[in-house]
Each structure stands twice: as structure tokens, then as C-alpha cells.
Structure 1
Amino acid sequence: MKTLYRQYIVVTLTVIIISITMSMLLIGQIYKSQIRPDTDAKNYGVAQEVQQILKSMPKESADAYFQSIAKLGYQIGVIYPDGNLVSYGSAFKKTNLTPEMVSIIGKDEVYHGIRDYYGSSYFMNHFANDIKNTIGVSFQLDNESYAFFIRQENATLFSEMHLLIVSFIIITAVVILLTMILLARQMVRPLKQLQQATKQIALENYDVQLTIDRNDELGQLATQFQKMANRLAENDQIKKDFINNVSHDFQSPLLNIQGYANVLKDAENTEEERVQYLEIIEQETKRLSALTKQLLLLSSLDQKNLPVQKKTYSLDKQLKERLFSKRWKLDDKQMELVYELEPVEVFADEQLMEQVWDNLLSNAIRYSEDKGKIIVTCSKKDSQIFVTIKDNGIGIPEQALEKVKERFYRVDPSRSSQSSGLGLAIVTEIVNRHAGQFVIESELGKGTKVTVILNVQ
């Protein structure tokens, strides 16, 4: 992953390199097209003036004259008729003469070394202390031909250097500024998109789709933000469904209670009818009470920081007690119960696990036909405990297996008005709180097998 810090360093270095490169290229062009020709022209003008003065000057005075010019900040090299090179002013670092330089002696030609000089460092050629980096002209003294080569000393060239430095700074600053503006826009764009998305979330509009495709912290933030928005949308829909389902599940028994309460007001009801209506009201009241308890249990389980009161207890004993409590329901439907419970101890919340076994056993009985069969087993393998409850009831369609653990989900709402659709959701939450596994296997028309896997410790 490319971090923002790493990107910033890379981009900054890239900007600096590009800026310096562009500045060097542009300054090179300025030097080539403006500064070097101007410097060449200035020195040529000085050389012409010196040449004119030398025409009327005695040979004996030439040496003193060249020394006086050198004191004005010039470097001068004079080729005498015998071929010797004499320097005035600061000595040249390089004094190798080219055939072109020697060839102007005695001719009305000009050597434009400043204009045509190429050294190893382009615009730094301006400061090359080389006799080839000069302007050269020929002159005569007492009918003898000479040539002199002249250039300004480096100390006097800083006005041109100042121009180069200022140009370099301005160009570099402009390139860096423009690049940083583009970079800032590139970095701010996803932040603005996140800002707009945040406003939508604040307005409870969770249908947010971000188009930020980055492989850095901003990309990670956008991905997590999108997940958060999707989760909020899911939770919002769950909340709405929850309210609708709770309203429906409460409304149905309340309407029944209200209806039968009104019927009881009729004085013409027989004693048998009154008892029947009261039993219905009692059943609906119990149904409301059970639903309320389940909702309260789910609400407490939703509080992730709610501690689970774990302790070590006998699981096989607990299962036997829950089976015994369901005995009358089994007898009522003439069902066969087979159980094989290995003596095991588990470290868990005893009350919560009691809810698990009650829900699973109730489902097995409720969705089995009369004279059906239920098999319950409990065994231990290594550090895990396996509890299975198997029935030969109506089973669950394959397409519904993934949804049966959802709250208020009913495979067929019409087949059982006694189910709230919360039982398996409660089982799932409790088992998850114990870091266990809850597995459902079922085949329509053949029965269902549920397995709860718990850790010993």
C-alpha cells in the first residue's frame, strides 16, 4: 500500500527534480538566446574601442595600456608576433590557443569565443576562466601584427549571474506552486467527496456510493466509510423491519384479547363459552409475555459490553432437566424421545444456555408431526463439546436455511402462529457470545438436525 507520507515524499522529490530540470532548461535557453549574445556584444564593443586606440599608440605604451584596462576588471591575453602569449589582469586558468584564434592575427576578423564557447557545464560556461572564452581581434604596432583576447573577470559578471539566479528562483517557484496546486486538488477531491457523503449520512440518507479508487490511507478510509454506510443502511432497514414485525406480533394477540374481552361483556354467554374465551385471553397474554421476554433478551444480547456470567457446571444434567420440562409436550403429541448424554462439564452462562436448549427443543417439538421422534446427544471430543438435536419433522427448505437465524424470519408464517421468529436468532447470539458454533442441517419433509459446538473452557 502506498501511504500518504510516502506519496508526499515521492511527489515532493519529483516536483523538486522536475522544477530544477525545467528551470535549468529554461535558464539555458535564456542564457543561450539573451545573456551570452549580450555579453559577447558588450565585450566586442570594448575590444573595438581598444583596437581603435591601439592604432594610434606607440609600441612602447601598449604594455602599460593593457595593464590599465586589466585594472578595470578585464582579463586580457595578447599574442605577440613571436607567438608568445602574455596575460594581463587575472591569469587565465586555461591558455591553450586554437588554430582559429591564431588565424585572426593580421586579418580583419573577430574571434567570438564568448558566443561560441562550449564547456562541460552549459550556462556555467559564462564563468569559464579559459582564454577560449573571450572576444579576440587583431591589431598592429610598428607594422607588426598582434592579436588580443579580452573578457570580463568573473567578479564583474555577477549582474548577469543575478539575472540567472532570479530567473531560476522564479521558474522553480512557479513550477512548484502549480504542481502543488494540482496535487492539493488531487488530495482534496476525495476529502470533499467524503465530506458530502458525511452530510448525507447525517441526514439519515445511507444510500451513499463513493467513487474513490486509491491505494493509500484515503482509499482505506473511503472503503471503510462505504462499509459503514452500507452497514448503517442495513441496520436502518433491520430497524424498520423490526418495528413492523414487533408491531404486527403485538397487534395480533392484543386484538384477540380486545375482541374476546368485548364478547365476555355479553350477558348471554354460557359458562362454557366464558371459560373458553378466558382461556384464549390467557393464551394470548402468555404469548405477549413470552414475546416481551424474548425481545428483552435480544436487546440485552445486543449490548456487546454486557458481561456473560460464565461458570463451570454439568451440561448433561442441564439437558436432562430441559428434556424433563418438555415431557408433557412430548406426551401430548405422543412423540418418542431418545437421548444419549455423555457426562461433561462446560464453562458457560448457565441461564443463557438454558434459553438455547429451550428454544431448540421447542422448535423440534413444534415442527414435528404427532408420533414423531427426537434424538438428543451430548459428547466431548478434545476441547470441544457437541450437542445435537435431531427430529423427523417437516424440515426446512434449502433456500430458507441461510435466513432462519434472522430475527422475525418465518419459513412459512401461516404454518405456526405460535412462533415469534426470534428463537433461532436468540440461539445464534448466545452461541456467538460463547465463541461457539451453531449449525443447522435440514431436508424438507425429512427433518432437521441442529448442532451446537461449545468450547470446554
Structure 2
Amino acid sequence: MGCRIQNGSLWRVTMNKITVKLIKYFAFIIALIIALCLIVSSVFLSKFYLESQYNVLESSAKEVYESLITGDLITDINISAVLIKDSSITPLTHGKMGVIPFLRSATTNDFETKGIFKNGMGTEFLYYKLSTNIGDIVVFQNNNYSSNYLNVVYIVLFFIFISAVILSIPLISFIGRKFTKPILELEKVASSISKGDFDVECSVETNDEIETLSNSLMKMAGDLKKKYQLQRDFIANVSHDFKTPLSVIRSYSEAISDGLLDDTSTIHYADEMIKEVDRLNALVMDLLQLSKLQDGAYSLNKELIILSDLVENCVNQFKPIMNKKGISIITSIEPLQINADRRSLQRVLYNFIDNAIKFSYEDSKIEIYTSDKKNSIKLSVKDYGRGIESHLLDEIWDKYYKNSESGGMGLGLPICREILKMHDFEYGAASSTKSGTEFYFFIPKDSILSNKG
């Protein structure tokens, strides 16, 4: 385990708390099990044991009867037996339980088939009455055997409980230490991350959910470090992109205010100031739109759109730029009728085409086409320009990313990402420094109403 816990007192206090809880829970579970065992033994086990004793008495009564019928001597039965006939009681065995003297006045009606009989001294006997043609044979057995048996069971359960508690204390202490150590390591790492220290290492190897949590925590630290770095870059970019036009506006305003310009220069400077204000306004609007998209404050206004017409309208906006760079755009779009937000989807296509033109070489081509997939239609904007390095592909969708060659604050693709996510369109980019870049998104077929024409 690669983490270090420097605060020893925190370790001991936390470990002790968890260990004490584990011991309490373990002792409670053991006590509950023992209590259930006592209840079961008192109710079911005692009943089962008594039934087994009655069965033994029944068998003994039958043996006595067979002995009386055959005339054999009753010598191997360790119980007391009497024969009750016509209110006359005849001892059949030489029992030593002291029950015979108390049966002198008993009749056959005093006994049910089986039950418990108490003599004058308060001693309890189990009995069983077997009705025969020669009279009722009643056999007896001292009930102390049953009570002693149950007492032994209770004592054994009690010692099991005490032994389990005593043995569980060191076991739970060991488990508590083993269980809390990685948790405290993760707590230390989480505390460091909350303070802005993302260069932490924690290698927990427990082969369970705690190890998975450790890996997730380390991944989170890496992602946060990346985002904080991008956020710092974003602040620097925003400062630069706002500072430059503001400086231009101030310089031109001072020149006009000091009366240093003629009428023609004043008009030119005013036009330049308007352009810089428009640039600032565009940056602010992009920030506001991205914030609305991410906060869910923007709702889509879906309508039926012919995809080929939407692409053609976007392409027409770039004809002056394409003619200047000698770039040709080849389109191959199926005449699909889809259900989407026209304005927001047009923004996505505009951004994809704009990026393709920026990164394309002069006198090259850009392809815009659709391809049929299993459950969707893929729309691609493919250029054959400089391409994007593979390690930057994931960053281009981040709102803080800014490419030095394209300029700007890097808000176009993050806005596209949010728009496509709201449409439930999957998206992506593939690029190579040799073959150019392809931006694409997938239109699910359940969003496609029909093929136009």
C-alpha cells in the first residue's frame, strides 16, 4: 500500500471506533443466536426430547405386556411399572423411584395416555399408560433426566457464548485494523485532493470494492488536476482575448478624444472599435450559451428538418472563404427528414465545417457525407489538412481547451458537445497528421422520420 498516514492519533481513534463497533455488532449477533437457540431448545428441543422419552416408555410398556403374556421375568427394564385393574394396583417391577407408595389409592381414570405425575414429595415422573386385555400397564420414569438434559444444553450454550465473545475480541481487532487501514489511507488522499494537492499516490491492493474505490479516487485526482490546469489556461486565454480588444478600443478612443484624427481616420477607427466590440460580444455570448446548455436552462425546439438542405445552407455560408483558399466541398447527404432543433444543429455543422476549413491546406477538399450504420445514420465532416495529434483528441471537447493554431477561446466544440448530448446524438472525432480529421455524430434511426423523395 503506497499511502502514508502521518497522523497516528487519528489512525488509532478511527481504528478504535470501528473496532469497537465491530465487536459490539459481533457480540450482538452472537447473543441473538444464543437467545434463539435457548428459545428453540426450550420450546422445540424439550418437546422433542419429551416425545422421545414417551416413545421409550411406550416401548417399555409393550415389553412389560409381552413379558406378562409369556410369563417371563421382567429384569432388564430400568423403569417402574404397575398394573391397574379394577382399582387394584399391582407393582410389576422393583423400581427405586419412590412412586409405588403414592399409587395405592390411584385408579386407571387418574392417568391419561401419557403425561407427568408428581408424587407427594414433589418429584415429577413421566408416565405412559398402555391399555391391554389384562388391565392398564403404567410405566414411570423420573423427569429429572429431562430437566438435567436441558440444563446441560443451557450451560453448553452459555459457555459457547462466553468463548465466542472472548475469542472474537482479538479476531475483530485484527479484522478492524485490516479493514480500517486502507480506508484511512483513502481518507488521507481525499483530504489532500480537497486541499488542491492532486499529486497523490495511493495503491491499495485489497482485491475488493475498496481497491476499486482507490482506483476511482486516483482517476478523479488525475481528472481534477487536468481540469484545474485547463481552468488556469482558460483564465489566461480569457484575460488575453478580452485584454487585446479592450486595449485597441481604449487606444482608438483616446486618439479620437484628443482630436488627433481627421474625419476619414475617425470613421476608420470607429469601425475598428465596433469590430472589437462585436468580438467581445461574441465571446460573452458563447460563454453564456455554454453555461445555459450545461445548466439545462436551454430547451430544444425540435422540428422536421431535411438534412441535405441543412448541410447545403451551412456550406453556402463558407463559399467566400473556400474560394479564397481554393477549397472545394463535396457533399453526399441522404435526403433524410429528421426531428431536431434546426438552429442548434446548424451551429454544430457550422463549427465542424469552420474547423475543417481552418485546418485544411489550400487547394484541398472537404467531404461531408452520411453513412448507414446498424441503428443510426452517421454524418461526417472530413478534411485532408494538418490533422490533430492523437493525445489532443479528448481535450478538444473540453470548454477550457484552446488550440494555438485555430485561435479563439475554444468554446465551439464544447457547445457542439452539449447540443449533441441534448439530442442524444453520439459524437466523436478521428484524426491523423497524415490523413486529416473527421468530425462526426450519429443520428439514431428513431429520430429519422422518412427519406425525402
TM-score under structure 1 normalisation? 0.55
Name 2:249's counterpart in structure 1: 257
Any residues of structure 2 matched to 1:175-186 within 5 Å, and which? Answer: 175-186=167-178
The answer to whether 1:385 aligns with 2:371 is: no
Q: Unpaired segments of 5 or more residues in structure 1?
A: 1-7, 17-88, 90-162
Q: Which residue, out of 311, 332, 348, partners 2:340? A: 348
Residue 303 of structure 1 and its aligned partner are, at CA, apart by 3.1
Residue 186 of structure 1 and its aligned partner are, at CA, apart by 2.2
Name 1:427's counterpart in structure 2: 416
Residues 425 and 442 in structure 2, CA contact (< 8 A), matched pair in contact too: no
Name 1:453's counterpart in structure 2: 442
Name 2:309's counterpart in structure 1: 317
* Cα separation, partners in 2 of 1:172 and 1:372, compared to 1, 3 Å: closer
Deviations along 1:187-207, one digit per CA (max 9) or x if unpaired, are 232333344344434434444
* Cα separation, partners in 2 of 1:314 and 1:382, compared to 1, 3 Å: farther
Report the secondary structure of 1:438's partner residue: strand
Report the secondary structure of 1:250's partner residue: helix
2: CA distance, partners of 1:410 / 1:425: 11
What code does the residue aligned with 1:438 have? G
Residue 393 of structure 1 and its aligned partner are, at CA, apart by 4.6
Report the secondary structure of 2:207's partner residue: coil
Larger radius of gyration: 1
* Cα separation, partners in 2 of 1:376 and 1:177, compared to 1, 3 Å: closer
Residue 171 of structure 1 and its aligned partner are, at CA, apart by 6.2
Residues 429 and 437 in structure 2, CA contact (< 8 A), matched pair in contact too: no
1: CA distance, partners of 2:263 / 2:313: 38
Any residues of structure 2 matched to 1:121-140 within 5 Å, and which? Answer: none
TM-score under structure 2 normalisation? 0.55
1: CA distance, partners of 2:270 / 2:437: 36
Residues 344 and 379 in structure 1, CA contact (< 8 A), matched pair in contact too: no
Q: Unpaired segments of 5 or more residues in structure 2?
A: 1-21, 31-95, 97-154, 448-453
Any residues of structure 2 matched to 1:15-414 within 5 Å, and which? Answer: 173-303=165-295, 308-331=300-323, 333=325, 335-368=327-360, 373-378=365-370, 380=372, 383-396=375-388, 400-401=392-393, 403-411=395-403, 413=404
* Cα separation, partners in 2 of 1:214 and 1:329, compared to 1, 3 Å: same
2: CA distance, partners of 1:370 / 1:319: 22
* Cα separation, partners in 2 of 1:271 and 1:372, compared to 1, 3 Å: farther
Residues 344 and 380 in structure 1, CA contact (< 8 A), matched pair in contact too: no
* Cα separation, partners in 2 of 1:285 and 1:388, compared to 1, 3 Å: same
2: CA distance, partners of 1:238 / 1:356: 23
Residue 235 of structure 1 and its aligned partner are, at CA, apart by 3.3
1: CA distance, partners of 2:223 / 2:353: 33
Higher relative contact order (CA 8 A, sep 6+): 2
Residue 253 of structure 1 and its aligned partner are, at CA, apart by 1.9
Name 1:440's counterpart in structure 2: 430
1: CA distance, partners of 2:357 / 2:160: 89
2: CA distance, partners of 1:268 / 1:363: 41
Residues 205 and 211 in structure 2, CA contact (< 8 A), matched pair in contact too: yes
Residue 221 of structure 1 and its aligned partner are, at CA, apart by 3.8
Residues 234 and 401 in structure 2, CA contact (< 8 A), matched pair in contact too: no
What code does the residue aligned with 1:360 have? F
Q: Higher mean Cα deviation, 270-279 or 365-374?
A: 365-374
* Cα separation, partners in 2 of 1:264 and 1:299, compared to 1, 3 Å: same
Deviations along 1:281-317, one digit per CA (max 9) or x if unpaired, are 2222222122222222222333369654444422222
* Cα separation, partners in 2 of 1:176 and 1:385, compared to 1, 3 Å: closer
* Cα separation, partners in 2 of 1:216 and 1:449, compared to 1, 3 Å: closer
What code does the residue aligned with 1:455 have? P
1: CA distance, partners of 2:220 / 2:415: 25
Residues 388 and 449 in structure 1, CA contact (< 8 A), matched pair in contact too: yes
1: CA distance, partners of 2:184 / 2:385: 57
Report the secondary structure of 2:377's partner residue: strand
Residues 367 and 393 in structure 1, CA contact (< 8 A), matched pair in contact too: yes
Deviations along 1:25-63, one digit per CA (max 9) or x if unpaired, are xxxxxxxxxxxxxxxxxxxxxxxxxxxxxxxxxxxxxxx
* Cα separation, partners in 2 of 1:230 and 1:266, compared to 1, 3 Å: same
2: CA distance, partners of 1:187 / 1:328: 68
RMSD over aligned Cα, in angstroms? 4.5
Residue 353 of structure 1 and its aligned partner are, at CA, apart by 0.9
Percent identity over the alignment is 26
Report the secondary structure of 1:213's partner residue: coil
Residues 316 and 378 in structure 1, CA contact (< 8 A), matched pair in contact too: no
1: CA distance, partners of 2:163 / 2:387: 79
Runs of 4+ deviating beyond 6 Å: 163-171
* Cα separation, partners in 2 of 1:225 and 1:420, compared to 1, 3 Å: closer
Deviations along 1:407-436, one digit per CA (max 9) or x if unpaired, are 45444x2x555x332223333343344332
1: CA distance, partners of 2:251 / 2:368: 41
1: CA distance, partners of 2:360 / 2:224: 38
1: CA distance, partners of 2:380 / 2:309: 15
2: CA distance, partners of 1:440 / 1:164: 73
Deviations along 1:321-377, one digit per CA (max 9) or x if unpaired, are 222333344455565444343311223332221111111222233444565544433
Residues 428 and 438 in structure 1, CA contact (< 8 A), matched pair in contact too: no
